[in-house]
Amino acid sequence: MYSWKLAAAALVVSISAHASEGSDDSYNNSMLSVLMAPTYTVAGTTGLTMLASNNFKPAKADALAFIGSEGQIRGAQFEQAVRFYRTTYLPPLMTDRQLAQAIATSY
């Protein structure tokens, strides 16, 4: 959550600093773009990673129950994580058991 606020603040500061400069120098414009593009890319990927973490972390207990019961117990949090995974990654790269093992070991 804080990474998005930090990225937004950096964007506002960079735009206001650039606007107050008032120059039409293409070198300055290109340097600003070159320096700020990686910052925005990192902020965006960090935000997406945090989004995935928020969907998979609560499902750890249900994933462990799924693994321990050989797939018989499917908790609500695990089902939500499976649905998120299936809609995000097309075609799915893991089976439900592999996803449960990944959630249990990673989160």
Does pTM top 0.75 for this prediction? no
Name the token pair of 28. 């300055």
pLDDT on residue 15 = 65
For tokens 């693994």, name the residue: 67
Q: Where exactly are the structural domains of the chain?
A: 2-106
The alpha helices in the chain, defined as continuous H runs, are 2-21, 26-56, 60-68, 76-88, 96-106
Q: What is the mean pLDDT of each run of 10 residues along the chain (107 residues)?
A: 64 60 69 78 67 80 94 93 87 91 90
Q: Which of 72, 74, 52 is nearest to 63 (CA)?
A: 74
Say if residues 55 and 81 touch (Cβ distance below 8 Å). yes
The C-alpha atoms of residue 7 and residue 14 are separated, in whole angstroms, by: 10
